[in-house]
Amino acid sequence: SLRSTLTGNNVNSSLSISLGEQAGNSWQQEKTIAIGNYAAYQNQALFGIAIGVTAGQSPQNQYAIAFGWGAGTWSQGESCIAIGKAAGNDRQESGAISIGDTAGKSLQGIEAIAIGTLAGENDQDSFAIAIGPAAGRYNAQGDSAVAIGHNAGNDNQGNYTVALGTHSATNNQAD
């Protein structure tokens, strides 16, 4: 394993890389990469990649990718992808994808997809899709809901609903 002089030293496996202050500090499994201060700080699972300050901080499950400042910081599920500042930051569940600054930032459900700045930012339920700046942003984007376009489905989009186009279904789209 490759380690910088400021990385952690508690139960780290071979074939792992950690560079940066406290990167891969504790329980970094084999075939993982942690680059940046506090990246993959604790409990980085097999094949995890965390690049950026606090990326994939704790825990990062197997096959997860966190790239950017604060991406996938708290509880990143298996096979998740978080790319961008604070993307998938807090509780990104298995198979979820967040691309863009604060996309899927808090409570992103199983296999949910958020692409664009602020897309699916707060409480995006399982299998929901938000594409575009601030699409599906606030107060729960329901299960399997789809929001495509700037501010589409922005606030409280119901389960199994579709919002297509700029500012469509901006507030309280019912189930």
Question: Mind listing the pLDDT tens digit for each residue in 118-145?
Answer: 999 999 999 999 999 999 998 889 999 9
Distance set, CA 65 to CA 76, 129, 165 (Å): 9, 19, 30
- Picking from 88, 159, 102, the residue whose alpha carbon sits closest to that of residue 134 is 102
Taking 90 as the threshold, does the pLDDT of residue 50 lie above it?
yes
pLDDT tens-digit series, residues 57-112: 999 999 999 999 999 999 999 999 999 999 999 999 999 999 999 999 999 999 99
What is d(CA 165, CA 40) in angstroms, rounded to the nearest whole number?
38
pTM: 0.91
Contact 150, 134 (CB under 8 A): yes
